[in-house]
């Protein structure tokens, strides 16, 4: 009985560990060299400096709903690989406080940017899967100085049935 329980726990642990960094092959684990990350995931869509770490962004857009961020430490090794388009990540952005450079390090580049001359803002759109259930769109409004002014969350109109036309 103990052996069966131990095998089940071992299998569950392996599954959880592989889920954190699995893109269809062997999992990338913390401590992997950056060269392994690049060989496995390819060239990042963007690279950001975050203190002494570098963030390699892997967008799955524009219709994609995920952006993965690989944090590479100063030793050139993977510290973490995280899907950042989540409510938890968006909650780290505070209108009137957060700047666009911080937004890029928190949730990566937007899938789409709309520029409004008046009132001098850009709308940064992030399609994502809210609570792993709803096709949502987070819009972050950034003013001409680079400050986040407001955020709006709602259904992703591109994925709504009414957007597909009649049928």
> What pLDDT does residue 95 have?
98
> Is pLDDT at 41 greater than 80 in this prediction?
yes
Q: What is the mean pLDDT of residues 104-128?
A: 94
> What pLDDT does residue 141 have?
97
Of the two residues 27 and 74, the one the predictor is more confident about is 74
The pTM of the full predicted model, rounded to 2 decimals, is: 0.79
Contacting residues for 160 by C-beta, under 8 A, at least 6 apart:
135
CA 117 to chain centre: 28
Contacting residues for 63 by C-beta, under 8 A, at least 6 apart:
111, 127, 158
Alpha helices (runs of H) in 23-159, residue ranges in sequence order: 34-41, 87-90, 100-107
Q: What is the mean pLDDT of residues 107-126?
A: 93
The mean of the pLDDT values for the chain is: 85
Q: What is the mean pLDDT of residues 99-108?
A: 98
């Amino acid at each position: 009985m103990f052996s069966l329980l131990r095998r089940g726990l071992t299998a569950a642990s392996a599954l959880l560990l592989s889920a954190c960094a699995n893109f269809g092959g062997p999992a990338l684990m913390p401590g992997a060299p950056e060269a392994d990350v690049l060989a496995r995931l390819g060239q990042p869509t963007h690279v950001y400096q975050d203190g002494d770490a570098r963030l390699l962004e892997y967008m799955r857009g524009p219709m994609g709903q995920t952006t993965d961020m690989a944090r590479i430490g100063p030793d050139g090794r993977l510290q973490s690989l995280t899907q950042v388009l989540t409510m938890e990540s968006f909650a780290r952005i505070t209108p009137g406080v957060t700047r666009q450079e911080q937004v890029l390090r928190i949730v990566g580049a937007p899938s789409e940017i709309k520029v409004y001359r008046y009132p001098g803002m850009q709308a940064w759109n992030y399609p994502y899967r809210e609570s792993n259930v709803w096709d949502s769109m987070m819009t972050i409004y950034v003013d001409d100085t680079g400050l986040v002014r407001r955020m709006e969350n709602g259904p992703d109109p591109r994925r709504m049935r009414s957007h597909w036309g009649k049928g």
